Structure 1
Amino acid sequence: MSPPIGELTDRMRSIFGLVVEAYLERGQPVGSKILAGTVNLSPASIRSVMQELEERGLLTHPHTSAGRIPTESGLRLFVDGIMQAHLPGKQERAVIERQIRDRPIEEALANATAALSGLSACAGVVVAPKAELQLRQLSFVPLGPGQALAVLVGADGNVENRVVDLPPGMAAPALAEVANYVTSRLSGLTLAEAEARLRTEIRERREAIDLAAAELVASGMAEWREDGSRRPILIVRGQANLIDEAAAADLDRVRRLLDELEDRQEIVRLLEGARDGQGCRIFIGSENRMFALSGSSVIAAPYRGSEGQVIGVVGVIGPTRLNYARVVPMVDYTAQALTRLMG
């Protein structure tokens, strides 16, 4: 565990900040000669301070003859105690606003992800709330005693299938009757609206449909709707940004990261960890299990709906060698811009 920033002397804080900033900019170990021209200390004094910082777990050196690089604990200390997030630059704000202003929500979310990716040179990600499916058609395919395959077709052409267990004695004609009713009378409604309408029909008996079959379909709609709300949409843009000149020296790490980006459910689970925060959450290297192997960082912030509830998360995924002071404000600003759009 790294020491609090307040426990470092002024000289140690100065050297530590310079090492981290130089490493983030260059991506290479930082030696005392590089810093000698920026502080009024001899290379020997700088090496002494860097050694002490290494003993405190804030710096490390990858090779015996190389300079130092920050450890993950050192980067965390830098991010939490030294870097202060401000608004992104005027030009960056204009790019973000231009990409999402006066756009349909789905397009704005995709554009915001692409804008973040381009501005940060990372992979941009957003967890978008899943729009509730609108009904077009419902049908059943008998599978055998006590089971049938329910086929639900949405207005957008998406098809959802699931096997349903039938109550004892339920005949295929009863299911077909309810399916025809749903297709002819409830088409165009959301699942919530269709369920409510069907339950009204069950309660008031205004249609000659089998009550057991109708109840089975209504309950199925409720489950479908609940399952859908738990399967948010993940948009990823800019994976190619992760393969740059600096990455050429560490292709194994990049390959691992690209493999990790294929596991979308795990990415969503990780980003969901940012839902409870008021602003940006930063996961550095092994602080998150998913990207521990590739040594990557995640910066993410929640955005809210019209009633102030968190409805999604936006962020970037990239190497630990990120310009946090520049990228964090961009992610935070994008989340705020999306919140304004949703309001």
Structure 2
Amino acid sequence: MMFSSGPSIPELNDRAREIFRRVVEGYIADGQPVGSKSLAAGLELSSASIRSVMADLERLGLLAAPHTSAGRLPTETGLRLFVDGMMQVAEPSAAERAAIERELSSSGPVETALARTSALLSSLSACAGVVMVPAREPRLRQMSLVPLGEGRALAVLVGDDGDVENRLIELAPGTDVSALEQAGNYITSQLAGRTLAEASRAMHRELASERAQLDDAARDLVSRGLAVWSEDAARRPVLIVRGQANLLDETAVGDLERVRMLIDDIERSEQVAALLDNAREADGARIFIGSENKLFSLSGSSVIAAPYRDRDGKVVGVVGVIGPTRLNYARLVPMVDFTARSLGNSLDVRAGHSGR
């Protein structure tokens, strides 16, 4: 990803660098503009000298002055410069690491672990926690086609993990109930134990060879009954989001429109999943600040995301947090990174247990 060009840290003298760092850290701490008087308390400089440096930093595009305040805020360019060149990361505390590992060691389905991960990240970060779930490929145990009347049927798929999913399918005029039963029995008896992708391939081979002892109506139902899952899975990003309410903190009172836009953006799960997908090839956590990603450019929000991998090093999903640009990047980047590694380890352990 290409970021906005701007001055580099070496181009700033020691005085400018220190003032810039303090403005950014002050803004991250409370979300408010930082004025020269508050900076003067920790620097052996007059307020006039500090204002002069801040004006220089503003001309460089690193700081901005809100209309309602004489203080300064970092711009997105300034935040990127700080994150890339000045930030000193703080590793998760022992308590935070223990909390993350404790949640991930809990028994239960993978989806439960992922939901807990998202909720825990939200709690620890005071942001929205997000987890992009690895594509699930349940193996079939049973499929039934239940007539509903008015030219519709309910396709009921039972996976070998006990999960049940339902889909509505349209029936051709005059479809007999016996065709529904025949199609369901065929799928269950011939294709059980395979994933949907495997089942679809095997089904098409069987139907093409005409080995399947099915009438035309049942053949059509078999084909459409499985296809409805394959099509839906390809279109639907599997995203778990927790903690949107955290975005409505005390600093959001004067900026409710921005927060409303952010929450609306998060509801667009397909676009959020596409954004997180940009972090899949990263070695660790990636940071997207404000307009660096189109989805959250209007709400002025940031995303920290990291891929998690299986035991073979293959990326299976992405975990992260979404919040205002004043995120505590130094604390959250290593936390997201640690969570991603721990999540990958947890999924490997679960896979090992299920294979016994």
Percentage of identical aligned residues: 54
SS of residue matched to 2:303: strand
SS of residue matched to 1:274: coil
Q: Higher mean Cα deviation, 318-327 or 281-290?
A: 281-290
Measured at CA, do residues 200 and 241 of structure 1 come closer, stay the same or move farther in structure 2, by a change above 3 Å? same
Instruction: Look up the match of 1:286.
Output: 291
Paired residue total: 337
SS of residue matched to 1:293: coil
Q: Determine the C-alpha separation between the residues in 1 that align with 2:170 and 2:85.
A: 54
Give the Å deviation of 1:143. Answer: 11
Q: Determine the C-alpha separation between the residues in 2 that align with 1:111 and 1:176.
A: 40
In the alignment, is residue 83 of structure 1 matched against residue 90 of structure 2? no
Q: Determine the C-alpha separation between the residues in 1 that align with 2:343 and 2:154.
A: 35
Instruction: Look up the match of 2:353.
Output: none
Which residue, out of 16, 30, 33, partners 2:34?
30
After superposition, give the CA deviation of every residue in 1:86-127 in whole Å (9 maximum; x if it has no partner).
531211111111110143321111111111111110010111
Within 5 Å, give how 1:301-320 maps onto structure 2.
Answer: 301-320=306-325
Does the 8 A contact of 1:138 with 1:180 survive in 2?
A: yes
SS of residue matched to 2:296: coil
Letter in 1 for 2:347: M
Q: Higher mean Cα deviation, 114-123 or 57-66?
A: 57-66
Give the Å deviation of 1:57. Answer: 0.3
SS of residue matched to 2:164: coil
Instruction: Look up the match of 1:225.
Output: 230
Instruction: Look up the match of 1:136.
Output: 142
Measured at CA, do residues 142 and 71 of structure 1 come closer, stay the same or move farther in structure 2, by a change above 3 Å? same
Measured at CA, do residues 203 and 265 of structure 1 come closer, stay the same or move farther in structure 2, by a change above 3 Å? closer
Q: Determine the C-alpha separation between the residues in 2 that align with 1:212 and 1:157.
A: 25
Instruction: Look up the match of 2:55.
Output: 51
Instruction: Look up the match of 1:190.
Output: 195
Give the Å deviation of 1:221. Answer: 3.4
Q: Determine the C-alpha separation between the residues in 1 that align with 2:144 and 2:195.
A: 13
After superposition, give the CA deviation of every residue in 1:119-168 in whole Å (9 maximum; x if it has no partner).
11001011102422435324387999xxx8674312223112355999xx
Instruction: Look up the match of 1:271.
Output: 276
Q: Determine the C-alpha separation between the residues in 1 that align with 2:250 and 2:220.
A: 60
Letter in 2 for 1:160: R
Q: Determine the C-alpha separation between the residues in 2 that align with 1:262 and 1:339.
A: 26
Instruction: Look up the match of 2:72.
Output: 68
Give the Å deviation of 1:279. Answer: 1.4
Q: Determine the C-alpha separation between the residues in 2 that align with 1:195 and 1:253.
A: 46
Q: Determine the C-alpha separation between the residues in 2 that align with 1:176 and 1:237.
A: 41
In the alignment, is residue 158 of structure 1 matched against residue 165 of structure 2? yes
Give the Å deviation of 1:261. Answer: 2.1
Does the 8 A contact of 1:129 with 1:229 survive in 2?
A: no
Q: Determine the C-alpha separation between the residues in 2 that align with 1:308 and 1:162.
A: 39
Q: Determine the C-alpha separation between the residues in 1 that align with 2:337 and 2:166.
A: 36
Instruction: Look up the match of 1:323.
Output: 328
Instruction: Look up the match of 2:98.
Output: 94
Letter in 2 for 1:310: V
Which residue, out of 2, 9, 16, partners 1:5?
9
Which residue, out of 234, 245, 261, partners 2:250?
245
Which residue, out of 41, 44, 48, partners 1:40?
44
Q: Determine the C-alpha separation between the residues in 2 that align with 1:58 and 1:117.
A: 29
Q: Determine the C-alpha separation between the residues in 1 that align with 2:194 and 2:240.
A: 26
Q: Determine the C-alpha separation between the residues in 1 that align with 2:271 and 2:258.
A: 18
Letter in 1 for 2:183: V
Give the Å deviation of 1:259. Answer: 2.0
Does the 8 A contact of 1:122 with 1:241 survive in 2?
A: yes
Does the 8 A contact of 2:148 with 2:154 survive in 1?
A: no
Does the 8 A contact of 1:135 with 1:152 survive in 2?
A: no
Q: Determine the C-alpha separation between the residues in 2 that align with 1:280 and 1:205.
A: 52
Give the Å deviation of 1:239. Answer: 1.1
Give the Å deviation of 1:255. Answer: 1.9
Measured at CA, do residues 171 and 157 of structure 1 come closer, stay the same or move farther in structure 2, by a change above 3 Å? closer
Measured at CA, do residues 209 and 292 of structure 1 come closer, stay the same or move farther in structure 2, by a change above 3 Å? same
Letter in 2 for 1:7: E
Q: Higher mean Cα deviation, 153-162 or 264-273?
A: 153-162
Does the 8 A contact of 1:130 with 1:231 survive in 2?
A: no
SS of residue matched to 2:281: coil
Instruction: Look up the match of 1:110.
Output: 115
SS of residue matched to 2:320: strand
Q: Determine the C-alpha separation between the residues in 2 that align with 1:32 and 1:190.
A: 63
TM-score of the superposed pair, with normalisation by structure 2? 0.83
Does the 8 A contact of 2:155 with 2:225 survive in 1?
A: no
Letter in 2 for 1:137: M
Structure 1: where are the runs of 5+ without partners? none
Q: Determine the C-alpha separation between the residues in 1 that align with 2:209 and 2:199.
A: 15
SS of residue matched to 1:2: coil
